[in-house]
A and B are shown apart, each in its own frame.
Chain A
Amino acid sequence: ELKVEQNPLFLSMQEGKNYTIYCNYSTTSDRLYWYRQDPGKSLESLFVLLSNGAVKQEGRLMASLDTKARLSTLHITAAVHDLSATYFCAVDLVSGSRLTFGEGTQLTVNP
């Protein structure tokens, strides 16, 4: 059974600081996705990582994938308040199949 774990589950940080959210998964996969969810809203796709060593960047967020370590990271650079949201990673085992989600990391960026 595929398990996906995120760390930390809650993160409170100051504006301008850097931090990393970790996503570990239990079974070999080379497809990992990051999503953002604002309170009361649905999930918005952020990054699609489809191979070992993949790195994607969008603004202050950068995601990477290490399939050998079964680890993805979401790095936040110089956080701003607008980044406050819950971030989910998701993994699938078989191409075209269902996604298994992590528990989510609730990020709060304080002025």
Chain B
Amino acid sequence: DVKVTQSSRYLVKRTGEKVFLECVQDMDHENMFWYRQDPGLGLRLIYFSYDVKMKEKGDIPEGYSVSREKKERFSLILESASTSQTSMYLCASSRGGPNTEAFFGQGTRLTVV
């Protein structure tokens, strides 16, 4: 089974802190994604990556950056956390090719106070 693991289930951070959310997948998938999920807004794509050291902006990249130094690991960075970034963050991975089924991690609920 594909396993996508996010480093934390719950995080509480202070406004202005630099926050790192880590995601690791164990199925050698090429693609990795970071989404945030908010009530009434569904899933919105923040950043994604097709390969090591590659990154692409999604729909809402402002205030975020990412890092992919190794194929299995994709990190989301909040440079200076704000209360508007309080949300559920979901990491996903998928294999390249015609079947782009994405597999999700368990989610990180981040609260910025």
Listed in ascending order, the chain A residues whose CB lies under 8 Å from chain B are 31, 33, 35, 41-45, 48, 50, 88, 90, 92, 95-104
Contacts and interface: CB of A to CB of B under 8 A. Distances in A.
A44, A97, A98, A103 — most chain B CB neighbours (10 Å): A98
Interface residues of B, number: 25
A96 B107 contact: no
B102 A33 contact: yes
B34 to A, nearest CB: 11
B90 A48 contact: no
Contacts of A98: 33, 45, 48, 56, 58
B6 to A, nearest CB: 9
B42 A45 contact: no
Nearest to B109: A40
Contacts of A95: 97-98, 100
